Amino acid sequence: MKMVENKESIEKEIIKAARKVFISKGYEGARIREIATEAGVNFSLVNYHYQSKDNLFAIVFDDIFDKILNKLSSILGDDTPIFDKIRQVVSLYIDTLLEDKDIPVFIISELARNPERLKKQILSKHLSQDVFTTLSNQIKSETEAGVIKDVNPVNLFLNIASLCIFPILARPVAESIFSLNDEQYEFFLKSRKKEVADFIISSIKTPHNRKEEITEYININ
């Protein structure tokens, strides 16, 4: 019984390579031979360790998707006040996405290709619904406390996600339209963090808070 010292390291290497190739080429475009080359192993080894392309893809995708959901729930789950939470989410979202710019397209494409996988994953973990429920409850109580307006949680959730994720999905178009290179665009997105948070927060502020603004405004003018 061979206990090769680097069996796990080889499997990790294959996973790492698979991750890279699947993310950049998608499921259909990825080639097992390319993954093997990228991992520096004989291409039969990929199927030896992971049985099939489909299975390997599932492992890679589930891992990526799980990490995203966990990150999201860890931010949304705690009991930080809503405005701070929004700033945190926006900041962390944009930073995280910029670290791995191709993941959003990868996720979106794969979920379009195979929406069934999502149902299994979401249903089996009950995770993201909980995330949303937590946020909804917080909105309810902060509304009752008079901190924010009576906003639709779905709209709020979607707005935050849209403003953070879309600019990364649309990077190629955006760079062309705005005549920016990768570096400039990335810099711009980072600078956008404050703007997006302000944008969201100002849209949900309750008239009570606005009253303060108004007092301020009247005093100044």
The residue range among 9-17, 35-43, 91-99, 188-196 that interacts with a second copy, by the rule CB under 8 A, is 188-196
Cα separation, 147 vs 190, whole angstroms: 28
If residue 31 lies in a helix (H) or strand (E), which one and from where to where?
Answer: none
Q: Which does 45 bind (CB under 5 to 8 A by kind): a second copy, DNA, none?
A: DNA
Cα separation, 21 vs 35, whole angstroms: 6
Q: Which does 48 bind (CB under 5 to 8 A by kind): a second copy, DNA, none?
A: DNA
**Closer to DNA at the Cβ: 1 or 218?**
1
Measured CA distances, 22 to 34, 54, 113, 180 (Å): 10, 11, 14, 27
- Token pair listed for 42: 């004989």
Instruction: Identify which of 18, 28, 203 has the alpha carbon closest to the alpha carbon of residue 112.
Output: 28
Looking at 90, 131, 139, 197, which residue binds a second copy (CB under 8 A)?
131
Q: Which does 54 bind (CB under 5 to 8 A by kind): DNA, a second copy, none?
A: DNA
Cα separation, 124 vs 145, whole angstroms: 35
Site string for a second copy, 33-72 (x = CB under 8 A): ----------------------------------------
* ∠ CA 173-155-147, rounded to 5°: 125
Q: Which does 44 bind (CB under 5 to 8 A by kind): DNA, a second copy, none?
A: DNA
Backbone angles phi, psi at 6, to 5 degrees: -110, 25
Tell the smallest beta-carbon distance from residue 67 to a second copy (Å).
Answer: 15
Looking at 98, 162, 187, 212, which residue binds a second copy (CB under 8 A)?
162
Q: Which does 128 bind (CB under 5 to 8 A by kind): DNA, a second copy, none?
A: a second copy
